[in-house]
């Protein structure tokens, strides 16, 4: 199994630009999570999906952030417009969604907004 | 979600056993305890999970006392490659988990 695949690995953009981060979960996993990691705030849960349906988006910072999961094998996290304070490593994780199934993380996308 | 408290950092030497304790006084009846490991530039990696007593796998052991208000991750005979950040999480697995600050373990030669 290839694990959770995220793209791109690195993204550098200018303030005001739209940024789209992509995630392919592990096949067969029905829960998908987006986390953000910074030195100041650590790992923060942004949103998670179960069976492609958003369950909890209370961690999404503001309306500039949006996430979609059009099918079981793909999810996007979009920031529009981006700001320097959005600079962070964004992780996607997936799990079987069962009571005792652990999260499997991708290697993240390092976003730098200048 | 139950809040967890763990040491910010720990130092050890190769070949030693390392025990990292996590406090979770408000753990709920249905909550499991899970530990993750994170290396620089990588996502967290699942190490071990448990509900009560002791759990052991090929990587680590997890000790949970009867009151479940704390847990201890035990890494036997650490090596330099065990240098990482270790996170203790408490919650219902399969759902959202909140990561704390983690414990930064530095293993010296």
* Structure tokens given for A27: 């096949």
Omega cis (within 30) before B11: no
Per-residue CA distances from A4 to A7, A26, A114, B32 (Å): 10, 5, 28, 23
pLDDT band at A99 (very low <50, low <70, confident <90, very high): low
**Mean pLDDT, to the nearest integer, of A71-88?**
97
Per-residue model confidence (pLDDT) at position A62 = 85
Across the interface, whether the CB atoms of A105 and B95 are under 8 A apart is answered no
What's the pLDDT at A45? 92
pLDDT of residue A97: 75
| B35-57 pLDDT per residue, tens | 999 999 899 999 999 999 999 99
Provide the percentage of residues in chain A whose pLDDT is more than 90.
82
Dihedral class, residue B96 (left if φ above 0, else alpha if ψ from -120 to 50, else beta): beta
Residue contact A95–B102, C-beta within 8 A: no
Model confidence at B2, pLDDT cuts 50, 70, 90, reads low
In contact, B9 and B104? CB cutoff 8 Å? yes
Q: What is the mean pLDDT of residues B94-98?
A: 68
Q: What confidence tier does A2 reach under pLDDT thresholds 50, 70, 90?
A: confident
H/E stretch holding B26: none
Cis amide leading into A81 (omega within 30): yes
Looking at residue A47, what is its pLDDT? 95
pLDDT at B1: 55
Residue of B44, B50, B55, B91 best to disrupt the A interface, most CBs of A under 10 A = B44
Determine whether the interchain pair B94/A97 forms a contact, defined as Cβ–Cβ distance below 8 Å. yes
Nearest to A103 among B32, B92, B97 (CB): B97
Rounded CA separation B6/A20 (Å): 35
Shortest CA distance to A74 belongs to which of A52, A57, A89, A101? A52
Model confidence band, residue B91 (pLDDT cutoffs 50, 70, 90): confident
């Amino acid at each position: 199994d290839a694990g959770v695949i995220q793209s791109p690995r690195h993204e550098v953009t200018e303030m005001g630009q739209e940024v789209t981060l992509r995630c392919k979960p592990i096949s067969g996993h029905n829960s998908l999570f987006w986390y953000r990691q910074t030195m100041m705030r650590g790992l923060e849960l942004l949103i998670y999906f179960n069976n492609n349906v958003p369950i909890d988006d209370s961690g999404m910072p503001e309306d500039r952030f949006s996430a979609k999961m059009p099918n079981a094998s793909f999810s996007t996290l979009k920031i529009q417009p981006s700001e320097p304070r959005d600079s962070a490593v964004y992780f996607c994780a997936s799990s079987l969604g069962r009571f005792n199934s652990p999260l499997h993380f991708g290697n993240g996308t390092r976003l730098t907004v200048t | 979600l139950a809040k967890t408290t763990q040491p910010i950092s720990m130092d050890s030497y190769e070949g030693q056993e390392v025990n990292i304790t996590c406090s979770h006084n408000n753990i709920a009846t249905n909550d499991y305890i899970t530990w993750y490991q994170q290396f620089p530039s990588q996502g967290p990696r699942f190490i071990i999970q448990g509900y009560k007593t002791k759990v052991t796998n090929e990587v680590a052991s997890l000790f949970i006392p009867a009151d479940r208000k704390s847990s201890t991750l035990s890494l036997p005979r650490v090596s330099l490659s065990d240098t990482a950040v270790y996170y203790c999480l408490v919650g219902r697995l399969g759902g959202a988990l909140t990561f704390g600050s983690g414990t930064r373990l530095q293993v010296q030669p």
